Structure 1
């Protein structure tokens, strides 16, 4: 089964998404991806993967 998670950074701030890979065929790993401000992005979670963090980031100075 696959679950789609949509991050909508519509408020003008970038959002940091942290994903943990729990798929048995691959070593466990953690990755981070930034959804830029004023952007919508879909993440697809499957096979034991987890979104372990969603953090609004401060605007770069």
Structure 2
């Protein structure tokens, strides 16, 4: 039986094979978490690049 990608709850047996989330709330929360994670990664990369630029100037 499949599980929700976000919360881990079991999906109904009659759910379509390609279903990934138990409801719209989990789907939305998963997307928001992905976006926050990506923003944090980009901020860290920007900080690294700024620090490298300061060293070379």
Q: TM-score of the superposition, structure 1-length normalised?
A: 0.21
Q: Which has the higher contact order (CA 8 A, sep 6+)?
A: 1
Greater fraction strand:
1
Instruction: Indicate the structure (1 or 2) with the bigger Cα radius of gyration.
Output: 2
